[in-house]
Structure formats: structure tokens, C-alpha cells
Chains A and B, each alone.
Chain A
Amino acid sequence: DIQMTQSPSSLSASVGDRVTITCRASQGISNYLAWYQQKPGKVPKLLIYAASTLQSGVPSRFSGSGSGTDFTLTISSLQPEDVATYYCQKYNSAPQDTFGGGTKVEIK
């Protein structure tokens, strides 16, 4: 099975900072990667699919890149409402172990 590894597991940054989260697949998955945002006590929300396509309604400060095994989620200017845990998900094959472990983003 393909394993998804996110880093860091948590980070603290200031409002306005550029934040980058990394997701690495143990084997190539082309661009079959999605990112989700889960705010505290809330339901996960789809942010990005196909590695770099922004879901409708998602602010443009969010962006995704990568292909193959290495992917990044970038928040260009961190806002207080971006405090959340972010998960990557591969979908090139059956969903066993489909999610990364998550990255918790906090405000410094």
C-alpha cells in the first residue's frame, strides 16, 4: 500500500506569514492528491484536488503543487481563520491508508 507522510506535524506562524505543508507519497501517484482543512470542532472541508485545483469558494491564498511523490500546500498569507489541521489524501488507488497524518497550523 502507498503511504502518505505529512510534515511538519504541527507549526506555529504569524499572521501574514507564508506557510508551506509537505505531503510525500511512498510511491508515485501522479497528481491524484487532495487537501482538506479541518477547523477545530468542525467537519473536514475539501480545499484542493488534482494536486493544484482550488475547490470552488476556497480563498486564493491557498495553493497546491507537486506531482509524483512530493506535494505542497501553501498558504500565501496566513490568516487567523486558517487555524486548522490540514490533511492530504491520495486517490490514485483504493482508499486504504488514503490520508496523511495531518498538520496542525496555529497562530504564533
Chain B
Amino acid sequence: EVQLVESGGGLVQPGRSLRLSCAASGFTFDDYAMHWVRQAPGKGLEWVSGISWNSGSIGYADSVKGRFTISRDNAKNSLYLQMNSLRAEDTALYYCAKDFHWDYEHGYFDLWGRGTLVTVSS
């Protein structure tokens, strides 16, 4: 079955760190760019970060630049998001999304996971 399954969310205090994971199955993971997209409670979709098929190109939203790090392990069919210096405004449902393309800068998202909830609160 073609799917993405996120994990690693939870309740964390402001300033602390969290690492999200996304396990991919049912498609050739290393053919495609991958992304993290988040959705704060009751709000719209916000792109967070993207990574090309071979990790050669990476991008971040201004809101997370310098705090979050995206990575992937093609041997393990896995995508990661290391989130440091977390803030209350990072509270959201974090989706892992597959790009239709190998390059993260010019693609749309044709497969989404169910998301993992990150809550930043003291």
C-alpha cells in the first residue's frame, strides 16, 4: 500500500527539541522530493521544509529557518524533521508529503500522511 506514516509528535516545552519521522512505503522513495507541511489548529496549510530526492537541495520557510533541519535516509525510506528552539507558534499538525517530482522547488504534493501533532506549551 502506498502510504506515509508520521511519528514523533507530542507535548514539548518552549525552547526544547523534537524529532519527527515519516516512514514511506509502496513507492520508490528515492525517486521523489519530500516535504513537511503543517497546519495550526483551525488554520490553513503552511509549507515548512522540502528536500530533493538525493538531499542535494533543501529549503525552509522563513518561520523555521535556523531552527528546523530536514533530512532523509533513502536506505530506510524515511524522512525526518529535527525541530529545535520550539515556540508556541510551532504548535500544529505536521504532515509529511510526497512531491510528484525529484526537485523540491517545482512540485505539488500527491501523497500525504495523516500527520503527527506537535504541541509546544509550558
Q: A49-B100, A99-B47 are in contact. Are A44 and B95 (CB under 8 A)?
A: yes
Q: A43-B113, A43-B114, A94-B59 are in contact. Are A102 and B108 (CB under 8 A)?
A: no
- In the complex, the answer to whether B110 meets A95 with C-beta atoms within 8 Å is no
A interface footprint on B85-122 (CB within 8 Å = 1, 0 otherwise): 00000000001000010001111111011110000000
Main secondary structure, interface of A, reads loop
B interface footprint on A97-108 (CB within 8 Å = 1, 0 otherwise): 111111000000
B interface residues, tally (CB under 8 Å)? 23
A87 to B95, CA, bound (A): 15
A32 to B105, CA, bound (A): 12
B interface footprint on A15-44 (CB within 8 Å = 1, 0 otherwise): 000000000000000001010101000011
- In the complex, the answer to whether A91 meets B44 with C-beta atoms within 8 Å is no
Interface set, chain B 32-86, CB cutoff 8 A to A: 35, 37, 44-47, 50, 59, 61-62
A2 within 8 A of B: no
- In the complex, the answer to whether B95 meets A91 with C-beta atoms within 8 Å is no
- A17 CB → nearest B CB, Å: 24
A45 to B110, CA, bound (A): 7
Residue of B nearest to A43 (CB): B112
Residue of A nearest to B35 (CB): A95
Residue of A nearest to B44 (CB): A102
Residue of B nearest to A38 (CB): B45
- In the complex, the answer to whether B61 meets A96 with C-beta atoms within 8 Å is yes
- B67 CB → nearest A CB, Å: 16
Residues of A within 8 A of B109 (CB): 34, 36, 44, 46, 89
- In the complex, the answer to whether B113 meets A91 with C-beta atoms within 8 Å is no
- In the complex, the answer to whether A45 meets B112 with C-beta atoms within 8 Å is yes
- In the complex, the answer to whether B95 meets A95 with C-beta atoms within 8 Å is no
Q: A32-B106, A43-B95, A87-B45 are in contact. Are A95 and B112 (CB under 8 A)?
A: no
Chain A contacts to B: CB under 8 angstroms: 32, 34, 36, 38, 43-46, 49, 55, 85, 87, 89, 91-102
Chain B contacts to A: CB under 8 angstroms: 35, 37, 44-47, 50, 59, 61-62, 95, 100, 104-110, 112-115
